[in-house]
Amino acid sequence: MRLAMNFIEELSAPRRSVFREITDFDNLQERLPNVFLSIRVLERSKSYLVTEESFSAMGTVVTQRSKHKLRAPTTHEVEILSGDLRGSSIVERYSDSAEGGTVVRVDADFVLGGFLSLLPQFIVRPLIEGSVRRVFTELEGVLGPGPTRRSSGRTRSPA
């Protein structure tokens, strides 16, 4: 089963700070302990990084490997290499907001496997979207909450 999502997050911190923090994989688990149980860099090159991350979802620990391509400070592309979401992709595009904060546009195409493929979309969609949005909510707390924190957007199923 496939699940496509598009949404926008707005954070009060400047774009360079947001991008730097979200892509600092060596310290991300320490910064966002409510999101990641563990995260470690397995491979690093000039054009990408491979990480292994564990997080809790629906009372179970999910472990996956992901390939990250970075174009600082504007684009973070994630390809999930293993786990129940193997074959999924997430593209985050970062831009400056009019208020001096950051606008993050998230475009994701999830391929659901394992226990996720057994659940109906009306249950899976909010779980996955909530997990992705939680990263930005937690990050806003680390960088300092501000009056411009907003979420918007829609999710869609592929045609």
Residue 144 has pLDDT above 80, yes or no: no
Average pLDDT over residues 34-49: 95
Residue 101 has pLDDT above 90, yes or no: yes
What CATH homologous superfamily does 2-154 map to?
A: START domain (3.30.530.20)
Other CB atoms within 10 Å distance of the CB of residue 123: 12
Task: Select from 138, 132, 145, 142 the least CA-distant residue to 12.
Answer: 145
- Confidence band, pLDDT 50/70/90 cuts, at residue 153: low
Verify cis geometry, omega within 30 degrees of 0, for the bond prior to 73: yes
Strand partners, 141: none
Residue 156 has pLDDT above 50, yes or no: no
Average pLDDT over residues 8-33: 96
For residue 21, the SS3 value is: helix
Quickly list DSSP for 114-150: GGGGGS-HHHHHHHHHHHHHHHHHHHHHHH---TT-E
How high is the pLDDT of residue 147?
Answer: 41
How high is the pLDDT of residue 152?
Answer: 53
Query: Of 136 and 115, which is predicted with more confidence?
Result: 136
Report pLDDT digits (tens) over 52-86: 999 887 667 889 999 999 999 999 999 999 998 99
Residue 97 amino acid letter: S
Average pLDDT over residues 128-145: 89
